[in-house]
Amino acid sequence: MAGKISKRQFLRKAVAGSCGLGLGLAFAGNGLFGRTSVPLNPAPRHPSPGWKWTTEARYYILTPKGIKCQLCPNNCVLKEGETGECRTKIRDGDKLISISYGNPCAIHIDPIEKKPLYHFLPGSSSFSIATAGCNLACLNCQNWEISQASPYNTRNYDLPPAAAVEQAIAGGCRSIAYTYSDPVAFYEYAYDTAKAAREKNIKNVLVSAGYIHEKPLRELCRYADAANIDLKSFSNEIYEMLNAGTLQPVLDTLVILKEENVWLEITNLVVPSWTDDMDMIREMCQWLVRNGFRDTPLHFSRFHPLYKLTDLPATPLNTLESARKIALEEGIMYVYIGNVPGTQAENTYCPSCKKEVITRKGMKILGNKISGNHCEYCGAAINGVWE
């Protein structure tokens, strides 16, 4: 087992490191859970301001210091030709242009459980798309080959919103998931695709870090049906050092999604020596209960050594079990352990009679004892979108 290294050492290592771009198609094409119906022969593209796969950004203003993006808390201010921290917005004259529109580098058909969503249309398939770019820079990112890249550097598909919806329907998917990198980075593409999907009765799923301003989030919620938000820690300092963000905007996102009636599940990745402090986890759970998230599914996910944290060990199972125990003690009704196939903590239990109502093995549903939204054993309501 690798020894622990201090956060300061990791931070130095992160600053010194460089982002690799060699696996731009890491999530496209044939995969473990199905096959995309999109042709697997994308050609490299080299975007320019006149390139057809661009669109004007939806949220920005012109200031004396430059164009200010108003999409997320990074609040990037760009001079001519500069690109935002997300690598998907570029200034062209007096306009802010998105270069991620209609050109995903990752396409896949996934089980909805992979998002992870355990209380939303279980057993269904989700057409999953992503472009390069992200507005955070997590040291532990599992998709860093695309999240820390630009659409300039990845091999991309020609898939405008209407075509994405057609492919989802052709693949027998009940939803489209905006995932792998972060839909905040490809906001305009996600928004227009979600709007087109709603017209065809296809659900929309946001898999995001939730690092976004209120106005664009509420606008996107008009077409969003479900979301899984990464609540990466309950420490602002750790957010800054580990993820290059801050905590409060993510907490605000959780509240807004609840207000907008978007089905919500929350993931907390437990990273050894970073986010495995049980007092912090208890504080996080207490905040969730106080703010109305008692019946919101919470997933404690196992960390695996990746990207710039390869010297850390995988999260011990007993650490995850301790986190789950704390969440249950604090009153959260549905608490799961993720990235550990075979654990009993991937099943759903009725909060009333305590019986197992959904049996899972990895991302497969082996049994379902929920009828409508009620436990078949005792009739108690089970919060979720089941049909």
Angstrom distance (rounded) from CA 67 to CA 128:
32
pLDDT in tens, 327-370: 999 999 999 999 998 899 999 999 999 999 999 998 999 999 99
List the single range of 16-20, 67-71, 342-346 with lowest mean pLDDT: 16-20
DSSP string computed for 320-377: HHHHHHHHHHTT-S-EEEES-TT-GGGSEE-TTT--EEEEEETTEEEEE-EETTEETT
Q: What is residue 21's predicted lDDT score, i.e. its pLDDT?
A: 29
Characterize 211-222 residue by residue with b for buried, 16 or more Cβ atoms within 10 angstroms of its Cβ, and e for exposed: bbbeebbeebbe
What is the enclosing helix (H) or strand (E) of 89?
strand 89-92
Q: What is residue 381's predicted lDDT score, i.e. its pLDDT?
A: 97
Angstrom distance (rounded) from CA 37 to CA 323:
40
Is residue 213 classed as helix, strand or coil in its secondary structure? coil
Q: What is residue 11's predicted lDDT score, i.e. its pLDDT?
A: 41
Name the band, by pLDDT with cuts 50, 70 and 90, for residue 125.
Answer: very high
- Cβ-based burial of 237 (10 A; exposed 0-12, middle 13-18, buried ≥19): exposed
- Helix residue ranges per DSSP H, 205-273: 214-221, 236-238, 248-259
User: What does the angle CA 294 – CA 295 – CA 301 come to, to the nearest 5 degrees?
Assistant: 85
Percent of the chain with pLDDT strictly greater than 70: 87
Contacts of 45 (CB under 8 A, 6+ apart): 51, 53, 103, 151, 156
Q: Is the pLDDT of residue 268 over 60?
A: yes
Name the band, by pLDDT with cuts 50, 70 and 90, for residue 87.
Answer: very high
Omega of the bond leading into 116 within 30 degrees of 0 (cis):
yes
Domains (range + CATH), the chain:
7-33+102-346 (3.20.20.70), 55-98 (no CATH)
Q: pTM, whole model, 2 decimals?
A: 0.88
DSSP tally for the chain: helices H, then strands E: 9, 19
Q: What is the mean pLDDT of residues 87-116?
A: 96
Q: What is residue 387's predicted lDDT score, i.e. its pLDDT?
A: 84
Q: What is the mean pLDDT of residues 25-48?
A: 35
**Beta-ladder partners of 338:** 301
Q: Which of 153, 159, 180, 181 is nearest to 171 (CA)?
A: 159
Token pair in block for residue 79: 């001079």
Rounded to the nearest 10 degrees, the angle between the axes of helix 187-199 and helix 214-221 is 20
Residue 335 phi, psi (nearest 5): -130, 125
Q: Is the pLDDT of residue 25 over 80?
A: no
Token pair in block for residue 190: 């996600």
Q: What is residue 52's predicted lDDT score, i.e. its pLDDT?
A: 63
> From edge to edge, which strands make up the β-sheet containing 95-98?
55-56, 95-98, 89-92
